[in-house]
Chain A
Amino acid sequence: MADLEKLKYTKTHEWIRVEGNKGVVGITDHAQQEISDVVFVEVPALGKTVGAGEEAAVVESVKSAFSIYAPVAGKVARANEELAKNPGRVNAAPYAEGWIFELEGIDAGNLEGLMDLPQYEQFVQGKEA
């Protein structure tokens, strides 16, 4: 199981696990519950450069499409091809096999604006109040 405390979180419910200048991105458990059954994931093209807060992927349920934003600026190094066959992984294992894409060329300084786990949990609770 991924160690949730090591992740950083965005207000748009993405998480990022940073290692050096790379970061793997997915959506949180709260997000996958809101979205309900994922039927399709549009992953970003390899090599694409994205800015912080820019739409990088789209997660679709039967009734809706949800934009997934890059938590920080970077270049897409990998995308989770398994999701094409098993989009449900995003629901079943949002922090592990349900990862969506990986960025490289990340500047660690840019992570400052992101939340840690307690902050994110509080943020979610505030929303649900």
Chain B
Amino acid sequence: MNFVPITERDQQAMLAAAGVDAFERLLSIPPGIPRAKWNLPKGLSEPELTGLLTGQAARNRTVRTEVSFLGAGATEHWIPSVVRYLFSRGEFLTAYTPYQPEASQGTLQAMYEFQSMICDLTGMAVANASLYEGASALAEAVVLALRATGRNRVAISRTVHPEYRQTLKTYLAGSEAALDLLPHRDGAVDPAAESKITDQTACLVLQLPNAFGCIEEWAALIRKAKAQGALVIVSADPIALSVVRPPAEIGADIVVGEGQALGTPLLYGGPYLGLFACREELLRRLPGRIVGRTRDANGRRGFVLTIQTREQHIRRSRATSNICTNEAMMALNAAVYLAALGKSGFRELGVQNLSKARYAHQTLTALPGVEPLFDRPFFNEFALSLPKDPEQVNAELLKRGFLGGLALKRWDPKLANGWLVCVTEARSKEQIDRFAEALREILR
């Protein structure tokens, strides 16, 4: 395909205007540098591309062709058609970052609305216009805490998603910071772990619900963190916040999370949506872009990117973060999604998730040999213990048209029989019953 409109005639005229008689004269590439020699396939037309890509797509099983009970940080929810429709609008999709606000009021207002709704969900005063995804958002929160407190130690629960902890470790490699891992007991952070929170601790990092789907008890840990002057960082599932208390009310200083569940499909892991919200006092340390309301020269309300002096294009090496491009379209998805559900719909969503997961939990644990792994409250995800290797079970389930839960040995060899099952509003009773039947057969 070709998108370059320059014709032969254009080329002649343009070269003349540029004052040269041949294109080569425009290049100042010295002879010592070899010219590119590459071996790339020939270009294809739209019909050929369609043939190629549909063939590749067809070689995948999906959560449409199979019935999925996989969660573990990426969840399947019903997405209103309105979300996809607005995502496809070129006025948003092909617009640039809103640095010229007069030409970007659509984007800026949509982001302001997104920020507002994230504040509503988390109870925080301030939310930015997105980071890349949940794990790097958590890392950015920790970096903020290290810089704000001037301390070196990070108290982080082992019940935080392993890929988030790995990402954090990578981000902090080579710095003076050290991670103090808080042990877990029966699927939740061990309250006795508070001894690891000292006056050297920059922040306490927790997850809601945790990586095993459990809702933990934090009162003692948070009290200790506050007493020691450490910041409290909570990584939260935004859908759970429909029925679960906002982390701001239990003492969080920063709330981060993965916003994929808010209107973005699974997409094999990305692009997703990093959420970042914090208390007002931390505003000047906030990473990423933020939109503010103001007025124009005629007094008309408008929106602008604000307090940009924190950002890389102004502060360079002293910026709060290096982030430039973010996940604006996914934030748009989230804004549309939350508005489409609205106050009552979002609550109903939470109740459906809670109810379906409980029904599934009851049904599955009624099968011989299947036990809950932990005895904890949960939202839409829970861990079970299977009498057979969960990876074998999943292979059998796939033959029957199901994507089974995550085999927890992938995260922790000590949980060799653990199986993390996610049940959202997208699973019907009938699907859950068939899943249980299939499992019964496999375990026989």
Contact = CB atoms under 8 A, between A and B. Distances in A.
Contact of A40 (B309, B315, B318): B309
Contacts of A62: 308-309
B284 A63 contact: no
Interface string A57-79: 00011111100000000000000
A65 B314 contact: yes
A63 B305 CA distance: 11
A33 to B, nearest CB: 19
A62 B309 CA distance: 7
Nearest to A64: B314
B314 A40 contact: no
Contacts of B318: 65
Nearest to A67: B318
A102 B318 CA distance: 25
Given A40-B309, A60-B309, A65 B284 contact: no
Interface in A25-72: 39-40, 42, 60-65
A60 B318 CA distance: 13
Interface string B290-325: 000000000000000001110000110010000000
A39 B284 CA distance: 12
Contacts of B315: 65
B308 A40 contact: no
Interface residues of A, number: 9
A64 B315 CA distance: 8
Interface in B402-420: none
A63 B315 CA distance: 10
Contacts of A65: 309, 314-315, 318
A69 B284 CA distance: 21
A12 to B, nearest CB: 17
Most B CB within 10 A of own CB, among A42, A61, A64, A65: A65
Contacts of B308: 62-63
A39 B318 CA distance: 18
Contacts of B307: 39-40
A43 to B, nearest CB: 12
Nearest to A61: B309
B305 to A, nearest CB: 10
A62 B306 CA distance: 8
Interface string A4-42: 000000000000000000000000000000000001101
A40 B307 CA distance: 9
A63 B318 CA distance: 15
Most A CB within 10 A of own CB, among B284, B309, B314, B318: B309
Contacts of B314: 63-65
A40 B315 CA distance: 14
Interface in B99-114: none
A104 B307 CA distance: 32
A47 to B, nearest CB: 14
A13 B94 CA distance: 44
A64 B314 CA distance: 6
A78 to B, nearest CB: 21
A40 B285 CA distance: 13
A63 to B, nearest CB: 7
A42 B318 CA distance: 14
A61 B284 CA distance: 14
A18 to B, nearest CB: 30
Contacts of B284: 40, 42
B296 to A, nearest CB: 15
Contacts of A63: 308-309, 314
A3 B402 CA distance: 82
Interface string B118-140: 00000000000000000000000
A55 to B, nearest CB: 10
Interface in A85-109: none
A113 B307 CA distance: 36
Given A62-B308, A63-B308, A64-B314, 4 more contacts: A40-B307, A40-B309, A42-B284, A64-B309
6 contacts: A39-B307, A61-B309, A62-B308, A62-B309, A63-B308, A63-B309
Interface of A: 39-40, 42, 60-65
> Which 6 pairs, one residue from A and one from B, show the smallest C-beta to C-beta distance?
A60-B309, A65-B309, A65-B315, A64-B314, A65-B314, A63-B314
